[in-house]
Amino acid sequence: MSKKCALILAAGEGRRMKTSKPKVLAEVLFKPMIDWVTDAVKEGGVDEICVVTGHCYEELEAHLGGKYKTVVQQELLGTGHAVMQAKEFIKANTPGNILIINGDAPLIDAKTISTAFEYHESHKNAVTIISAKIDNPFGYGRVVRNKDKCLKKIVEENDATNAEKMINEVNSGAYWFNCSVLLEALEGIVEMHDKKQQAEYYLTDAVEVILEKNLNAVAYEAGNPDAVLGANDRAQLQLLNEIARKKVMREHLLNGVSIPCADGVMISPNVKIGNETEILPGTIIKGDTVIGENCVIGPNSFIENSVVGNGVTLNNTQCYSSTVKDNTSIGPFARVRPDCVIGEGVKAGNFVEFKNANIGDRTSVSHLTYIGDADFGSDINVGCGCATVNYNGKEKNRTKVDDHAFIGCSTYLVAPVSVGKNSYTAAGSVITEDVPDNALAIARSRQTIKKDWISKKKPYKWQK
Ligand code: UD1
Ligand code: CA
């Protein structure tokens, strides 16, 4: 099979999106549209990608991180003009075929790209346009066919006659071109632009240019009509989010994940969830999160870039860039900030916050506690209202608590400090010195009782 390359058009300003960022960085399920497109293109078997950037190109190029070739379109003069900026890239891939694809149509899938290519190559087409019939074709270029159903042209919404506007087969903005035909067609696009006195250079005019040369220009209908949908404004972006959200949830449901009520549930495309795990309403799971089997996640939990074991409960919990091991229960109303490793069988209750902390197996932190920059061992009991005092105004220091320790209620552990194995801290202690193993540390003033103290005072009216 011949080498395949792709040119992604991503220079557009996104005026209709009303954004100051490059439009293709708008997100669908928390993943920028451009990343959906590059992923699908690579999975569709393309060897080399070039991206046309333009509006806020520095921001887009920073996002792409040097992974692909880029060319800058200085003036945004339309999709045809965008392709002209990449002539060198197209020449370098001649002879061969090139996929030209919009960066603002994130639901395109690898299968549509690869099956369209097989069709394109086996029929030796000059261009194969990926099209689909959709319910609401407003705003898209319509695929106009002649009486014998062959492709005649693509007409944009603004140029379409009323009869053409009735056509519901639309151009996806993704096409397989023979590279040498495309290079020649670019000249034809300039002529068309001048002749029709259009404001922009339309890539879609390549169809008429190619047909005039008696070459094969064909519209190939995608099996998956959602694949062609693009987002020019935020209403369309929400529609794409909804389609992608339902699709991702359906895959998890069919894999044995329970989502009894999908209200407010959003799961990013790269998330992995094990069998018989239940996701409850209001839960957002983002990034490269992996969740094991038999967990209950939610209601109202937010999990990002984390690894969660089997049998874990995360109830009304936020968890970022951390690991939570098997059979641990966290929440309600708890927060696991980045760089934590929470061990197996840990219990963390309401209003507990962890940050950059290691918590050993079976340790219990039930209520109202902050543990930051700390290494806690296993089988520790932390009472209510404790805190690691990790910041002295200049630097962060670590706290170490060894296995089987018992941290009394309202203990403050002023770091750097350690508590030894089996040791206790008395409730209300402010621990500023290391506690050895098997000890009790009391760091508060002794209680004093002043007998009949009240009789010496002038009584208040409610005292008898
Ligand atoms: C385009 C197609 C239309 C198709 C639709 C599918 C043309 C003329 N029209 O319309 O037939 O149905 O996509 O979604 O091609 N871009 C550049 N440089 C530019 C202009 C655009 O790189 O100067 C990029 C945009 O960033 C975007 C893509 O090309 O990713 C499409 O541009 P857009 O203006 O959104 O075209 P549509 O009006 O959607
Ligand atoms: Ca568009």
Same domain for 270 and 135: no
158-184 burial, b if ≥16 CB within 10 A, otherwise e? eebeeeeeebbbbbbbbbbbbbebbbe
Same domain for 216 and 320: no
Domain presence at residue 234: no
Query: What average pLDDT does range 222-249 have in this prediction?
Result: 95
Domain presence at residue 118: yes
Q: Tell which one of 35, 79, 207 to mutate to probe ligand 1, the residue whose CB is within 8 A of the most ligand atoms.
A: 79
pLDDT of residue 459: 65
Chain centre distance of CA 5: 26
pLDDT of residue 197: 87
Same domain for 202 and 262: no
CATH number of the domain to which 171 belongs: 3.90.550.10
pLDDT of residue 455 exceeding 90: no
Same domain for 371 and 269: yes
CA 23 to ligand 1 center in whole angstroms: 11
Q: Which amino acid is at 328?
A: T
Same domain for 190 and 292: no
Same domain for 430 and 309: yes
Enclosing domain of residue 17:
4-228
Q: Tell which one of 33, 102, 130, 202 to mutate to probe ligand 1, the residue whose CB is within 8 A of the most ligand atoms.
A: 102
Q: Which region, left, alpha or beta, applies to residue 29 given φ > 0 means left and ψ of -120 to 50 means alpha? A: left
Q: CB neighbours (10 Å) of residue 124? A: 9
CA 79 to ligand 1 center in whole angstroms: 6
CA 176 to ligand 1 center in whole angstroms: 16
CB 423 within 8 Å of CB 439: yes
CA 17 to ligand 2 center in whole angstroms: 10
What is the pTM (predicted TM-score) of this model? 0.92
Same domain for 265 and 196: no
Same domain for 317 and 211: no
Model confidence pLDDT, tens digit, residues 71-96 = 999 999 999 999 999 999 999 999 99
CATH number of the domain to which 291 belongs: 2.160.10.10
Cα angle 81-86-87, degrees, rounded to a multiple of 5: 95
Same domain for 279 and 206: no
pLDDT of residue 464: 63
Among 228, 245, 265, residue at a domain's last position: 228
List all residues whose CB is within 6 A of at least one atom of ligand 1. 9-12, 23-24, 52, 54, 73, 76-79, 81-82, 102-105, 140-141, 154, 156, 170-173, 202-204, 230, 232
Q: How confident is the model at residue 2 (pLDDT cuts 50, 70, 90)?
A: low
Q: Which amino acid residue places its CA nearest to atom 20 of ligand 1?
A: 78
Q: How many domains does the chain have?
A: 2
pLDDT of residue 196 exceeding 90: no
Residues with catalytic function: 367
Task: Tell me the ligand closest to 102's alpha carbon.
Answer: 1
pLDDT of residue 60: 97
Q: Which amino acid is at 38?
A: T
CB 424 within 8 Å of CB 408: yes
pLDDT of residue 420: 98
Same domain for 368 and 303: yes
The residues, any chain, with a CB within 8 Å of residue 114's CB and separated by 6 or more, are 44, 45
Domain presence at residue 161: yes
Same domain for 123 and 16: yes
Same domain for 372 and 319: yes
